[in-house]
Structure 1
Amino acid sequence: MAGETNRLLELAREIDPEADARETDVLVSTGEQVTIALLTMALHKLKVPARSFTGGRSEY
């Protein structure tokens, strides 16, 4: 999945070269969501109990 963040940023620049920083952050954070889901799946395969959370959904 190398290069996905750069691909997303390029798409954003095509739409608006001066896109709002908040929306750019939301766009880039989608990669983090993919990572936490894949990591949780890998842990489940190893029989390790795990659950994925985004920052806003954590209990801390």
Structure 2
Amino acid sequence: MGVEDGLSQSFITDFTQDKDGFIWIATLDGLSRFDGREFKNFRNDLHDSTTIARNVIQF
């Protein structure tokens, strides 16, 4: 499981699993959520106030 599979960045700063079973992976280029099959990546977009606040994530 890595960047070639959809992880946002290979340098992981932290990770956790939530009550729904999602694995959340903090990286230096955003936050990745893994559902057991695929990644969904969350990144800051300066032009969209609904995105995460920054791309360097640490829990």
* TM-score normalised by structure 1 residue count: 0.24
More helix by share: 1
Q: Could you say which structure has the greater relative contact order, defined with CA pairs below 8 angstroms and 6 or more residues apart?
A: 2
* TM-score normalised by structure 2 residue count: 0.25
More strand by share: 2
Please identify the structure whose Cα radius of gyration is greater.
1
